Amino acid sequence: MTTVKQLIRNARQPIRNAQKPAALKGCPQRRGTCARVYVRLVQIMTSNKYKKIEVSMISTNE
């Protein structure tokens, strides 16, 4: 818990959410093609290898 003096010195900043592009536009069943599948390695020794995928959307209107 912050003190009053800390709040006066450094006021709390509102959290700004990064706006993501709406690729699916509210349609979870939109078609797409798989552009790339790769395994992401993490620096921590005990963690798993995460599988990531890049998808390009088929629909022409973006």
What pLDDT digit, counting tens, does each position of 12-58 carry? Answer: 888 888 777 676 777 777 777 777 777 776 666 666 666 677 777 66
Whether the pLDDT of residue 59 is over 80: the answer is no
Per-residue confidence (pLDDT) for residue 5, from 0 to 100: 93
User: Strand, helix or coil at 45?
Assistant: coil
Do 55 and 38 meet the contact criterion of CB atoms below 8 Å apart? no
Q: What is the pLDDT, as a whole number, of residue 62?
A: 47
CA–CA gap between residue 56 and residue 59 (Å, rounded) = 9
Query: Is 57 within 8 Å of 23 (Cβ atoms)?
Result: yes
